[in-house]
Amino acid sequence: MKESRTLLIRYDEIGLKGKNRKYFENRLARNIRYALKEIEGVRIEKVHGRILGRVDRKDADECVQRLTFVPGIASISIGVSMEPDFDKMAEWGIGLIRPKLDNLGQLKFCVRTRRSNKLFPSTSTEIDFEVGSRIMKALSYKGLSVDIKRAEFVLEIEIGPQETLVFDNRVPGLRGLPVGSSGQVLSLLSGGIDSPVSTLKLIARGCRVHSVFFDNRTFLGRGGYDKVVRLAHILNRYQGGGKLYVIPFQDIQVAIRDYCSDANRVVLYRRMMYRIACALAESKNCQGLVTGESLGQVASQTLENLAAVSCVVPMSVFRPLIGMNKQEIIAQAKLIGTYDISIEPQPDCCSVFMPDHPATRSKIQELEADEKCFPWEDLMARAMDAVETINLDEPG
Ligand code: ATP
Ligand code: MG
């Protein structure tokens, strides 16, 4: 018979959802099944406020790795089902701790037991002691110590009515809410550092996030496009089911260059991006836009200029990075795996025909006057007709 492992998948915020709790749990269980769909023989069960996964031993690490991408999960541990025998449980713990000790030279640990089978003759504190002291006897000479508050390794034991499980340390999850539980939004994804981070922020709040990229390959080549496609695929690993829409933007930029005032150019680009994104979002059932804007980061992100772009769309605009500084954003980009691609040198279309002195406090009336000078509705309709749709579930 194959050796199996049990994954203990914990979630937290879902627990606050009162009557909707079932809905969130079912959604999370579904997303977990989807994330593990390529792994044969996985069984996912919901049991008393947790989700258990039954998997083949050889696949356990791969499953945990995949689950670290699933929003809504607080932590994951790999466990094994065994007889409730102190020697056997301790032996298992020793096997897990020994290689860590060999690596680190010393380690603080503790045992934590939950006993829902009240017929079991020892209390949870007694079990902690029995198993913990056996492990100490075997490994204290190597530098192992017990520290309940600051343990670097926690051996968890669950004595349930049907089975006893012993779990390895917890691997942290993304937390947040399961994707699909908060509706859909559309993210303005450039190839920069910021917008992939803002996209993931909304994914981790339970949204399915589609993306739109404004492409000017006539002036900049295909490099920016290739970069955004790769970024979008990485982000889609956290959700599945995402789409990337690519809108040709060069004709609009040329018209703005030729007919509008130089200082307003970048804000005028942005107003066109917002309008197109909003129309696209409405047609794709998305309830808001997401951008990577952060207050004061560049000339187009002053309070005045942010207001001058938001006012062209009758839709919520989410700016999850608004109060973050660049160092914090970079740290998150590294964590989610988009940073290395983002820093590849490819200019964004906002930098095309960049004026020497971009307006930092553009006036709505001046912007509207500029927009009377070129047929933006026609250009917008043409750009939208030429949209390219990329299904991110298909390999890039
Ligand atoms: P990023 O690092 O995300 O590119 P940034 O600091 O370079 O951001 P801007 O270039 O001013 O700032 O862009 C601000 C936001 O506008 C981006 O985070 C993104 O949401 C959106 N944006 C900018 N350029 C594009 C584009 N070509 N396609 C789609 N969205 C864009
Ligand atoms: Mg940018």
**Which domains does the chain carry?**
4-172 (3.30.2130.30), 184-391 (3.40.50.620)
The pLDDT assigned to 3 comes to 86
* Sign of the four-CA dihedral 22, 26, 31, 33: positive
β-pairing, 171-172 vs 4-10, is unpaired
What residues contact 66, with CB distance under 8 A and at least 6 apart? 35, 36, 39
* Nearest protein CA to atom 12 of ligand 1, as residue: 293
Distance, CA of 109 to chain centre: 31
* Nearest protein CA to atom 4 of ligand 1, as residue: 192
Closest ligand relative to 195 C-alpha? 1
48 bridge partner residues: none
Which residues contact ligand 1 via a Cβ below 6 A? Answer: 188-190, 192-195, 212-214, 273, 291-293, 297-298, 300, 348-350
* Nearest protein CA to atom 31 of ligand 1, as residue: 190
The pLDDT assigned to 16 comes to 61
* Nearest protein CA to atom 21 of ligand 1, as residue: 188
Q: Which ranges of 186-295 does DSSP label H, i.e. alpha helix?
A: 194-203, 217-220, 223-236, 250-259, 265-283
Kindly give the distance from the C-alpha atom of residue 249 to the centroid of ligand 1, in angstroms, as a whole number: 14
Kindly give the distance from the C-alpha atom of residue 380 to the centroid of ligand 1, in angstroms, as a whole number: 19
Tell me what the mean pLDDT of segment 350-371 comes to. 85
The pLDDT assigned to 15 comes to 58
Confidence class of residue 17 from pLDDT cuts 50, 70 and 90? low
Inform me whether the pLDDT recorded for 290 exceeds 70: yes
Tell me what the mean pLDDT of segment 277-289 comes to. 98
Kindly give the distance from the C-alpha atom of residue 191 to the centroid of ligand 2, in angstroms, as a whole number: 6
| Nearest Cα to Cα of residue 388 among 185, 228, 255, 264 | 228
Report how far residue 37's alpha carbon sits from residue 94's, in angstroms, rounded to the nearest whole number. 33
Q: Which residue has the tokens 């897990």?
A: 96
Tell me what the mean pLDDT of segment 259-266 comes to. 92
Tokens (6 digits) for 90: 């301790």
Query: Which of 186, 187, 188 to probe ligand 1 with, by most ligand atoms within 8 A of CB?
Result: 188
Closest ligand relative to 269 C-alpha? 1
Inform me whether the pLDDT recorded for 1 exceeds 50: no
DSSP letter, residue 140 = G
Distance, CA of 324 to chain centre: 17
Atom of ligand 1 minimally distant from the CA of 197: 3
Report how far residue 225's alpha carbon sits from residue 385's, in angstroms, rounded to the nearest whole number. 18
Q: Rounded to whole angstroms, what are the CA distances from 290 to 165, 339, 392?
A: 43, 19, 18
Closest ligand relative to 266 C-alpha? 1
Atom of ligand 1 minimally distant from the CA of 187: 20
Helix 250-259 / helix 265-283 crossing angle, nearest 10 deg: 140
The pLDDT assigned to 27 comes to 92
Q: Rounded to whole angstroms, what are the CA distances from 367 to 32, 110, 229, 374?
A: 48, 64, 32, 12
Confidence class of residue 282 from pLDDT cuts 50, 70 and 90? very high
The pLDDT assigned to 117 comes to 87
Report how far residue 116's alpha carbon sits from residue 127's, in angstroms, rounded to the nearest whole number. 13
Kindly give the distance from the C-alpha atom of residue 174 to the centroid of ligand 1, in angstroms, as a whole number: 25
| Nearest Cα to Cα of residue 214 among 239, 240, 185, 251 | 251
Confidence class of residue 297 from pLDDT cuts 50, 70 and 90? confident
Atom of ligand 1 minimally distant from the CA of 216: 27
- Specify the higher pLDDT residue, 23 or 6: 6
Atom of ligand 1 minimally distant from the CA of 212: 29
| Nearest Cα to Cα of residue 350 among 291, 247, 290, 270 | 270
Report how far residue 352's alpha carbon sits from residue 29's, in angstroms, rounded to the nearest whole number. 46
Inform me whether the pLDDT recorded for 65 exceeds 90: yes
Report how far residue 53's alpha carbon sits from residue 42's, in angstroms, rounded to the nearest whole number. 7
Closest ligand relative to 300 C-alpha? 1
Question: Mean pLDDT, the chain, as a whole number?
Answer: 93
Kindly give the distance from the C-alpha atom of residue 369 to the centroid of ligand 1, in angstroms, as a whole number: 25
Closest ligand relative to 190 C-alpha? 1
What residues contact 23, with CB distance under 8 A and at least 6 apart? 17, 181
Q: Which residue has the tokens 């496009």?
A: 225
Tell me what the mean pLDDT of segment 1-9 comes to. 85
Tokens (6 digits) for 309: 């772009």
| pLDDT-above-70 percentage for the chain | 98
Atom of ligand 1 minimally distant from the CA of 195: 3
